[in-house]
Amino acid sequence: MHGGIEAVVHQEETPAAKILLLRRWSDMPRHLQFNPHIHTGYRPLMTIRQCLGSLFYIHNETVNILTHGFAILYMLLTVPHLLPWNTKGTLVGILSWCHLIGAVSPWVGSFLYHLFMNVNYDEVFYRTLLKVDMVGIWLCQSFGAIPMMAAAVHCLADNIWYCCIFIYCTLSFWGLLKAMTAGSPWERRLCFAPPFLMRMLVMTLRCFGIGGGSPDALIHIILQDLVAVIGATIGALRIPEKWIPGKLDLVLNSHNVMHVMVVLAVCSMHTATLKDLAWMSDPSTCNKASYPSSDREEL
């Protein structure tokens, strides 16, 4: 056997556990060879039970699994208690549900994908898990961003408000359809470009005080996409492990960094959404900003 971590994870041979040896990149099936700069620490093909057991030892997916596993618990335990469920009118309530779905879904999809990606079925099952991960990301990018979009055009005329929300939802569903058939990581990333560009347009208008939105939320709205883009770029470029191949197999590689930055981005989204929902809950916000009042306050 090769030296180093590929021959670790020593366990007693019992009916409940078998000796598991971590593998090298060259030992893995082709569909799991997606980063040649990560040389070791790969789990072999395993049963679902063995995949669950891999939560209790170190391998090169441990950081990816735990970062999103802890994020699931944090969001479920804290977010529901902070949202304004009891606000008069249904619009803020609907947007609160959108935020809860958007804040939790990416962690669930990614947690399942990274935990069970090496299950001993076939490549079709792996592709299905990858789609589950993409749906989670899509829910965050679409449902999770709707409260921000709604706040950014809250003080505009109703027909403009509905038009903006409709266009954003249409672009989001187009991105989902493209993501489900994308053949490479870059194609999957580009599927989210149209709704991202619309968010950037609305954010630009917001910077000039056009449309609405809580002034205190603006910095967090900028950070939520900026941090996510930086994380995605690091993941796509595979740095820093491409500079020192085989030295960052278990921790601090590009995918680990991307996971942490995505968590930080969603935390910024969460903070911005809470401020926007509180801002929209005040029926006098548009009047204070010298905008025409909107009938949606009564929804």
Confidence grade of residue 211 (pLDDT, cut at 50, 70, 90): confident
Residue 18 three-state SS: coil
How many Å apart are CA 156 and CA 290, to the nearest integer?
A: 11
Residues spanned by the domain of 236:
58-298
Instruction: Report yes or no on 31 lying in a domain.
Output: no
CATH code of the domain covering residue 67: 1.20.1070
Whether 19 shows a pLDDT value over 50: the answer reads: no
Strand ranges in the chain using DSSP code E only, listed in sequence order: none
Whether 226 shows a pLDDT value over 50: the answer reads: yes
The per-residue pLDDT for range 179-189, each reduced to its tens digit, is: 888 777 777 77
Per the model's pLDDT, the better-predicted residue between 95 and 93 turns out to be: 95
How many Å apart are CA 86 and CA 160, to the nearest integer?
A: 27
**Residue 265: predicted pLDDT:** 92
User: What phi-psi label fits residue 24: left (phi over 0), alpha (psi between -120 and 50 degrees) or beta?
Assistant: beta
CA dihedral 177, 183, 184, 187 (to 10 degrees): -40
Question: Rg of the Cα trace of the chain?
Answer: 22
How many Å apart are CA 31 and CA 123, to the nearest integer?
A: 7
DSSP per-residue letters across 56-102 = GS--TTHHHHHHHHHHHHHHHHHHHHHS-TTSSSSHHHHHHHHHHHH
Whether 293 shows a pLDDT value over 70: the answer reads: no
Instruction: Report yes or no on 10 lying in a domain.
Output: no
| SS percent in the chain: helix, strand, coil, step 5 | 65, 0, 30
Whether 17 shows a pLDDT value over 70: the answer reads: no
Q: Dihedral sign, CA of 223, 224, 226, 230? A: positive
- Mean of per-residue pLDDT scores for the chain: 85
Q: In the predicted model, what is the mean pLDDT of residues 187-209?
A: 86
Tokens of 255: 């995918």
Instruction: Report yes or no on 277 lying in a domain.
Output: yes
**Residue 26: predicted pLDDT:** 93
Instruction: Report yes or no on 5 lying in a domain.
Output: no
How many Å apart are CA 203 and CA 150, to the nearest integer?
A: 12
**Residue 88: predicted pLDDT:** 55
To 5 degrees, how large is the angle CA 175–CA 181–CA 184? Answer: 95
Whether 288 shows a pLDDT value over 90: the answer reads: no
Instruction: Report yes or no on 241 lying in a domain.
Output: yes
**Residue 295: predicted pLDDT:** 52
pTM recorded for the entire structure: 0.81
Instruction: Report yes or no on 196 lying in a domain.
Output: yes
Whether 33 shows a pLDDT value over 90: the answer reads: yes
Instruction: Report yes or no on 106 lying in a domain.
Output: yes
Whether 89 shows a pLDDT value over 70: the answer reads: no
19 close to 11: Cβ distance less than 8 angstroms: yes
How many Å apart are CA 114 and CA 129, to the nearest integer?
A: 9
**Alpha carbon distance, N-terminus to C-terminus of the chain:** 66
The per-residue pLDDT for range 147-173, each reduced to its tens digit, is: 999 999 998 888 999 999 999 999 999
Tokens of 21: 């040896």
Residue 119 three-state SS: strand
Whether 13 shows a pLDDT value over 70: the answer reads: no
Instruction: Report yes or no on 218 lying in a domain.
Output: yes
Q: In the predicted model, what is the mean pLDDT of residues 111-132?
A: 92
Count of the separate structural domains present in the chain:
1
Whether 2 shows a pLDDT value over 50: the answer reads: no
Distances (CA, A) of 294 to 30, 89, 98, 163, 199: 56, 13, 21, 14, 22
